[in-house]
Amino acid sequence: MKLAMVKQGGAARLVRVDASGTRFWPVETLAPNMPTEMTALIAALSSGATMPEPTGEGEALDEAMLLAPLPNPPRNIFCVGKNYHAHAREFAGSGYDSSSTSAADAIPKAPIIFTKPFTSISGPWDDIPMVPGLDAEVDYEAELAVVIGRGGRCIPKASAMSHVFGYTLVNDVTARDLQGKHKQWLLGKGIDGFCPMGPFLVTADELDAQSMRVTCHVNGEKRQDATTADLIFDIPTLIETISLSMALLPGDIIATGTPEGVGIGFKPPRFLRDGDVVECAIEGIGKIRNTLRKVDAAALRGAA
């Protein structure tokens, strides 16, 4: 099943989308007794509720209608650092990695978990803001994101996949200078608008999480291309690790890490600039495309 949030008539609506991604049915009419908020729907479906199969032609879906499929998860996004072998090595050699001291310890011995505020989430076509003071060393990171369905604590690897509701795609945009300056990753990765997401949330029964291809193009040039088979720590390991410390909740998001080919992997680094277009894609989920745009810092004061 493919789910999405769309903007229609000035309002956000939860919809079910056909396999081609071109037609949709609002959940409020398809299943009147089901929740019309994504996190609540995930919880209901993971507790045994069922959604009827669509009937009729549905409505035409224009990709411009699509919003982030999970704009309000229950808390910050769980993220995983250095979780592809080649990326771990390129990061360790970049001069920006405060988590290793040499090539010898480039590959982590345990998952590196940090969080990205949910306020960083933006839509699949939204501009990525280039705010003065935060725009000098902006980088891209295409990632598979796991969405938890049935929650739980101390989940063993053997049963971890039964807690996965589905998958989406995120770009873990990062201000590398802040990441290095503060010796941790929250401020460099948590900037508002630095987590484009989408275009769909696809249920786990439709995808093989062990062999999905993750790609990223910048201005049409391929920068990243890998499969999830290259993950250092697989999805069951990540779920076991996080749930040992805290109960996972329906709608929690785990961004599983990015492959080799990020901007800091080049010599010299190739950071994003105003007007650049970044397109991330994952087989079976789709693509997101975002343009870097300068923002007037004065206009942001008091915006919250």
The per-residue pLDDT for range 104-138, each reduced to its tens digit, is 678 899 999 999 999 999 999 999 999 999 999 99
Residue 161 pLDDT: 98
Q: What is the pLDDT of residues 19-35, one digit of tens each?
A: 999 999 999 999 999 99
Closest to 127 measured CA to CA, from 271, 290, 303: 290
* DSSP-derived 3-state class of residue 40: helix
Residue 296 pLDDT: 86
Looking up tokens 């080799």, which residue turns up? 260
Cβ atoms within 10 Å, residue 168? 27
**Exposed, middle or buried by CB within 10 Å (0-12, 13-18, 19+), for 208?**
exposed
Tallying the residues shown for the chain, one arrives at 304
Q: Distances from the Cα of 140 to the Cαs of 25, 101, 250, in angstroms?
A: 33, 23, 27
Separation CA 57–CA 79 (nearest Å): 38
- Give me the residues paired with residue 11 across strands: 8
Interior angle at CA 128, CA 126 and CA 130, nearest 5? 145
Residue 194 pLDDT: 98
Residue 304 pLDDT: 60
Beta carbons of 111 and 184 less than 8 angstroms apart: no
Beta carbons of 183 and 196 less than 8 angstroms apart: no
Spans of the chain below 50 pLDDT = none
